Amino acid sequence: MRETPRPRGTVGDTGSEPPQPRPGRAFAHTPGADGSGTPHRSDGRPPQTPRGARQPGRIGRLGATPPAPRRPTTWLPVALGVLFALLTWQVAADGPLRRLDERGGRALADSVLPGAAAEFFADLGNMPVAVPVLAAAVAFTALRGFGAGVFRWWPGPLAAVLAMVAVPLLVVPLKLAVDRAGPPGADGSGYYPSGHTATATVAYGAAVLLLLPLLSAAARRVLVVCCVLVNAGVGVGLVRSGYHWPLDVAASWCLGGILLWAVRVLLARYGRGPDPG
């Protein structure tokens, strides 16, 4: 059965004309009325559409622009590099900072940690102790990422290994160039910067950076605090045991901080670790 088309109404039919505004309310719904920005709203509220609710930007612009992504900050390695250059200059030129450093080192040698505790923390900077910790973290994160099929699982472990390889490549030439004598009782020269401090800083720090994506927020804080305390203990233990001057330790912290910053940037840019779980 075919439907017959609905007859069109004439001009005089009821309901065929457009609605006429009622007297007394016409000015409240006109586009130019106060408190209204649209012909059908008089309460001043924005229309219920995403475009209508968008807030304008500065004058002359169509709208606010989204924030641009932040670039990696470079002030930290620059500050550490400037501080390292200052320390190296003072030590090599026998400046006032070196003389103050040696007086402070002699005063701290017998007043901070007991001998046994100082030796324990100083030994944590040995390569046979620190490097296996980093190797375990590298192997664990690499195998976990590869097994989970994570895209680009290798840049993080590779960056940590390269940072560890860079430690002797940087420290040994500096030791030969500065040729600083050790504390009283130490044999020979070449104590600036501290190789044990640089090894501990990079090995433990890089291991923490690799493990952070696998941990919860609370566990991350605990691990970072433990890493800072261990590295502080290594530096104090070396000074207390008479193996290094304080500036030897501080310079190695600067070098280690620069290398860890580079590892962090590579991890953020290229590495994508496995999800926690």
Output the CA torsion sign for 44, 46, 52, 58: positive
Domains: count for the chain: 1
Question: Is 51 among the domain residues?
Answer: no
- What's the average model confidence in pLDDT over 231-260? 95
How far is Cα 156 from Cα 174, in angstroms, rounded to an integer?
27
Question: Is 196 among the domain residues?
Answer: yes
- State pLDDT tens for residues 169-197: 999 999 999 999 989 888 888 999 999 99
Question: Is 49 among the domain residues?
Answer: no
- pLDDT(48) > 70: no
pLDDT the model gives residue 17: 54
- pLDDT(91) > 60: yes
Contact 238, 244 (CB under 8 A): yes
- State pLDDT tens for residues 127-183: 999 999 999 999 998 888 765 555 567 788 899 999 999 999 999 999 999 999 989
pLDDT the model gives residue 208: 96
Q: How many CB atoms lie within 10 A of CB 187?
A: 6
pLDDT the model gives residue 174: 96
Residue 20 pLDDT class (50, 70, 90 cuts): low
- What's the average model confidence in pLDDT over 52-65? 43
Question: Is 3 among the domain residues?
Answer: no
pLDDT the model gives residue 206: 96
Question: Is 139 among the domain residues?
Answer: yes
Query: Which domain covers residue 166, as residue numbers?
Result: 76-269
Cα atoms in the 13 Å half-sphere on the side-chain side of 160: 30
Question: Is 97 among the domain residues?
Answer: yes
Helical pair 96-108 and 217-240, crossing angle rounded to 10 deg: 90
192: left (phi over 0), alpha (psi -120 to 50) or beta: beta
Written in H, E and C, the secondary structure of the chain is CCCCCCCCCCCCCCCCCCCCCCCCCCCCCCCCCCCCCECCECCCCCCCCHHHHCCCCCCCCCCCCCCCCCCCCCHHHHHHHHHHHHHHHHHHCCCHHHHHHHHHHHHHCCCCCCHHHHHHHHHCCCHHHHHHHHHHHHHHHHHHHHHCCCCCCCHHHHHHHHHHHHHHHHHHHHHHHHCCECCCCCCCECCCCCHHHHHHHHHHHHHHHHHHHHCCHHHHHHHHHHHHHHHHHHHHHHHHCCCCCHHHHHHHHHHHHHHHHHHHHHHHHCCCCCCCC
Question: Is 27 among the domain residues?
Answer: no
pLDDT the model gives residue 139: 92
- What's the average model confidence in pLDDT over 95-123? 87
Q: pTM of whole model > 0.85?
A: no
Greatest alpha-carbon pair distance for the chain in Å reads 116
For a pLDDT cut of 70, what percent of the chain falls above it? Answer: 68
pLDDT the model gives residue 213: 86
Question: Is 153 among the domain residues?
Answer: yes
Residue 74 pLDDT class (50, 70, 90 cuts): confident
Token pair, residue 200, equals: 């501990």
